[in-house]
């Protein structure tokens, strides 16, 4: 899925099918980092499949990381303008926070897997802006779109 996600993102840029509310560099970095984060969390979850609590929560966080295309279709992205990437991040964070609240109410404490999954979500989204507008990424997007 990681390879297919990256190939699909590159194909969208090559075919000029980038959503109009995302600059192409942001689109590339957001999707690629999301898929890589998904791959990391999912591989970790598979490695810990005998530890059900870790496995379930890491799988959930990994799935949340690949929700950005779905959220881009659900949220009123054209109306959000420059805040569209932030809206996608906030929407994904709501799901992680909901899991944390569920754990807190059910178990009395938040499972450590949510902190790791939430950290991957934060790190990948913090990197989107600086990388998406960096000269190497902009050159890459320009070459892909040519």
Contact 139, 9 (CB under 8 A): no
Structural domain span for residue 12? 1-145
pLDDT band at 85 (very low <50, low <70, confident <90, very high): confident
The reported pTM is 0.91
- CA end-to-end distance (rounded Å), the chain: 26
Q: What's the confidence (pLDDT) of residue 82? A: 84
Distances (CA, A) of 126 to 34, 85, 105, 146: 12, 10, 29, 28
pLDDT tens figures, 89-139:
999 999 999 999 999 999 999 999 999 999 999 999 999 999 999 999 999
How many domains does the chain divide into?
Answer: 1
Model confidence pLDDT, tens digit, residues 19-55: 888 899 999 999 999 999 999 999 999 999 999 999 9
Is residue 72 scored above 90 in pLDDT? no
- Quick one: pLDDT at residue 60? 98
Query: How buried is residue 93: exposed, middle or buried, by Cβ count under 10 Å (0-12/13-18/19+)?
Result: middle
């Amino acid at each position: 899925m990681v390879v297919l996600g990256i190939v699909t993102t590159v194909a969208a840029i090559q075919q000029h099918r980038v959503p109009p509310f995302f600059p192409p560099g942001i689109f590339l970095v957001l999707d690629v980092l999301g898929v890589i984060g998904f791959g990391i969390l999912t591989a970790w979850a598979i490695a810990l499949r005998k530890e059900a609590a870790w496995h379930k929560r890491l799988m959930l966080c990994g799935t949340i990381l690949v929700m950005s295309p779905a959220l881009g279709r659900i949220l009123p992205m054209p109306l959000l303008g420059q805040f569209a990437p932030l809206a996608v991040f906030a929407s994904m964070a709501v799901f992680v926070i909901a899991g944390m609240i569920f754990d807190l109410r059910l178990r009395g404490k938040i499972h450590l897997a949510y902190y790791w999954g939430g950290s991957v979500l934060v790190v990948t989204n913090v990197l989107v802006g600086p990388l998406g507008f960096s000269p190497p990424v902009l050159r890459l997007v320009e070459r892909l779109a040519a």
